[in-house]
């Protein structure tokens, strides 16, 4: 039991070293081939056979270095090269075949290894039987010994090939299994890298949308407040000062939101810092900002608060962008209605009765509309923007199932 365990550990260690240093293993295999075959070549009668025989063995051994990339070609050349020596000693041929079919079973397909082994075994058996130097002698008296030699050769050769085939098939199966695991690991790694890249792109797009919404909203309000302050500066300096104070408040609020957007880059993916200041409950504060710059906004909220913070932020940003567009592109609206209905679905409607500038009408209102549609698509929703039959400009967001 101890010897068997030690042998198993030795084989496993050799296989491990073989995977780490394949060329070293090839050299050892080539040397073992030459060493084992040299005894048989030296035993062949006639010194004129020894030198060519050793040369043939060296050439065949050199082919071992191609057994990984061209196992079938290595088998064919080495088998043909050693076949003349097999006429003198058939065991030389069977040894060459055993080395080669092992390589085919490991580095090619087992079926081809069995085919090559069967073909070469038939040829070597014929050489042993019918060669003038084979096991069957010319006189009848030595016939018994010749038959015994043939039987011995057939049995040992068959066992040698069988061991080589089974060992090679087992090693090949293990190699293909390991190669498959490695390939799958590489595939998963590439897939992970692609997912990371997609996540980075999605994060950049999300941050770009947030930055656009914050900057567009804040600058639009600041411009309107500044224009209002400039218009009443001489007549009503107190109102002008109040407007200037509101400019500072809007700027500070925008700065805080920008800090929250930037901080997400240093936060964990589960961080919800982006939703701070841009949630469902902040809609009233948002509407008050636009009322402060003279936009007649009404807010109606019905239903329960959506459970997902991302949905809440989407609602907030869409309302914010829609009101910003009204502030920038609508001419003297008398009423801007914001309606939020949250049941199983979430439906947000922003309606302005003011006339929209021609250059801003239609579906191509710019980056803001694109950003709103991207936000809606993240939750399987839709966003439509355009005039209705009465001439009012309507932005309508629908998020199916987002109200649960």
For the chain, helix, strand, coil in percent to 5 are 70, 10, 20
Q: Are residues 23 and 148 in the same domain?
A: yes
Task: State pTM to two decimals.
Answer: 0.50
pLDDT of 190: 86
Cα separation, 165 vs 102, whole angstroms:
6
Q: Are residues 186 and 311 in the same domain?
A: no
Q: Are residues 181 and 315 in the same domain?
A: no
Q: Domain of residue 303: give its range.
A: 294-404
Q: Are residues 159 and 298 in the same domain?
A: no
Q: Are residues 303 and 187 in the same domain?
A: no
Share of the chain above pLDDT 70, in %: 67
Q: Is 151 contained in some domain?
A: yes
Q: What is the DSSP letter of 335?
A: -
pLDDT of 131: 55
Secondary structure element (H or E) that encloses residue 399, with its range: strand 393-399
Q: Are residues 147 and 29 in the same domain?
A: yes
Residues 176-206 have pLDDT tens digits of 888 888 888 888 888 888 887 877 777 777 7
Is the model's pLDDT at 260 over the cut of 80?
A: no
Cα separation, 276 vs 254, whole angstroms:
13
* Closest by Cα among 256, 269, 276 to 214: 256
Cα separation, 340 vs 336, whole angstroms:
13
Cα separation, 376 vs 391, whole angstroms:
25
pLDDT of 396: 94
The count of structural domains within the chain is: 2
Which of 128, 158, 192 terminates a domain? The answer is 192
Which of 165, 192, 219 terminates a domain? The answer is 192
pLDDT of 326: 85
Residues 201-237 have pLDDT tens digits of 777 777 777 777 777 777 878 887 788 778 777 888 8
Mean pLDDT to the nearest integer, 162-182: 85
Q: Are residues 309 and 161 in the same domain?
A: no
Is the model's pLDDT at 286 over the cut of 60?
A: yes
Q: Is 223 contained in some domain?
A: no
pLDDT of 397: 94
Is the model's pLDDT at 246 over the cut of 80?
A: no
Q: Which residues, other chains included, contact 212 with Cβ-Cβ below 8 Å and sequence gap of 6+? A: 367, 368, 371
pLDDT of 348: 94
Phi and psi for 203 in degrees, rounded to 5?
-65, -40
CATH number of domain containing 344:
3.30.565.10
pLDDT of 362: 45
Cα separation of the two ends of the chain: 67
The band of 142, judged by pLDDT with boundaries at 50, 70 and 90, is very low
pLDDT of 384: 92
Q: Is 252 contained in some domain?
A: no
Q: Are residues 298 and 186 in the same domain?
A: no
* 193 CB neighbour count, 10 Å cutoff: 10
Q: What is the mean pLDDT of the chain?
A: 74
Q: Is 237 contained in some domain?
A: no
* Closest by Cα among 282, 377, 378, 380 to 338: 282
Which of 157, 192, 227 terminates a domain? The answer is 192
The band of 41, judged by pLDDT with boundaries at 50, 70 and 90, is low
pLDDT of 381: 92
User: DSSP 3-state assignment of 386?
Assistant: strand
List, as one string, the DSSP characters of 259-305.
Answer: HHHHHGGGS-TT--GGGTTSSGGGHHHHHHHHHHTT--EEEEEEEPP
More confident residue, 184 or 32: 184
Q: Which residues, other chains included, contact 213 with Cβ-Cβ below 8 Å and sequence gap of 6+? A: 317, 320, 321, 324, 368, 371
Q: Are residues 51 and 184 in the same domain?
A: yes
Q: Is 7 contained in some domain?
A: no
Q: Is 260 contained in some domain?
A: no
Q: What is the DSSP letter of 333?
A: -
Is the model's pLDDT at 283 over the cut of 50?
A: yes
Phi and psi for 21 in degrees, rounded to 5?
-130, 75
pLDDT of 64: 62
Q: Are residues 302 and 187 in the same domain?
A: no
Cα separation, 133 vs 88, whole angstroms:
5
- Indicate the burial class of 285 (C-beta count within 10 angstroms; 0-12, 13-18, 19 or more): exposed
Q: Is 5 contained in some domain?
A: no
Residues 338-396 have pLDDT tens digits of 999 998 899 999 999 887 765 444 444 567 788 888 888 888 899 999 888 888 889 99
More confident residue, 19 or 111: 111
Residues 66-93 have pLDDT tens digits of 667 778 877 877 777 767 666 666 666 6
Q: Is 258 contained in some domain?
A: no
Region for 294 from its dihedrals, namely left if φ exceeds 0, alpha if ψ lies in -120 to 50, beta otherwise:
left
Cα separation, 113 vs 115, whole angstroms:
5
């Amino acid at each position: 039991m101890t010897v068997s365990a030690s042998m198993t550990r030795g084989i496993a260690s050799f296989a491990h070293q073989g995977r780490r240093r394949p060329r070293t293993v090839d050299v050892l295999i080539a040397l073992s081939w030459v060493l084992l075959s040299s005894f048989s070549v030296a035993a062949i009668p006639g010194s004129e056979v020894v030198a060519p025989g050793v040369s043939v063995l060296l050439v065949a051994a050199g082919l071992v270095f191609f057994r990984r990339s061209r196992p079938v070609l290595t088998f064919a050349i080495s088998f043909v090269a050693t076949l003349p020596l097999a006429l003198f000693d058939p065991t030389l041929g069977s040894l060459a075949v055993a080395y080669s079919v092992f390589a085919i079973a490991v580095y090619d397909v087992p079926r081809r290894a069995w085919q090559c082994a069967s073909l070469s075994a038939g040829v070597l058996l014929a050489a042993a039987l019918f060669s003038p130097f084979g096991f069957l002698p010319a006189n009848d008296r030595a016939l018994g010994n010749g038959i015994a030699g043939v039987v011995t050769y057939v049995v040992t050769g068959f066992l040698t090939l069988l061991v080589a085939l089974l060992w090679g098939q087992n090693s090949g199966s293990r190699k293909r299994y390991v190669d498959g695991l490695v390939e799958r690991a590489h595939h998963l790694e590439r897939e992970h890298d692609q997912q990371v890249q997609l996540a980075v792109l999605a994060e950049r797009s999300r941050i770009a949308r947030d930055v656009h919404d914050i900057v567009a909203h804040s600058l639009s309000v600041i411009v309107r407040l500044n224009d209002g302050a400039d218009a009443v500066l001489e007549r009503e300096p107190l109102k002008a000062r109040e407007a200037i104070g509101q400019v500072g408040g809007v700027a500070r609020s925008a700065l805080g939101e920008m800090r929250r957007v930037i901080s997400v880059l240093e936060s964990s993916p589960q961080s919800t810092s982006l939703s701070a200041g841009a949630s469902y409950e902040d809609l009233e504060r948002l509407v008050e900002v636009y009322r402060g710059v003279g936009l007649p906004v009404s807010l109606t909220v019905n239903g329960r608060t959506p459970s997902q913070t991302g949905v809440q932020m989407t609602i907030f940003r869409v309302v914010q962008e829609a009101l910003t567009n009204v502030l920038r592109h609508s001419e003297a609206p008398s009423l801007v209605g914001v309606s939020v209905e949250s049941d199983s679905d979430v439906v947000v409607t922003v309606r302005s009765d003011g006339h929209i500038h021609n250059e801003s009408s239609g579906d191509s209102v710019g980056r803001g509309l694109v950003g709103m549609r991207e936000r809606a698509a993240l939750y399987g929703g839709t966003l439509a923007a355009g005039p209705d039959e009465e001439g009012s400009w309507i932005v309508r967001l629908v998020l199916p199932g987002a109200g649960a």
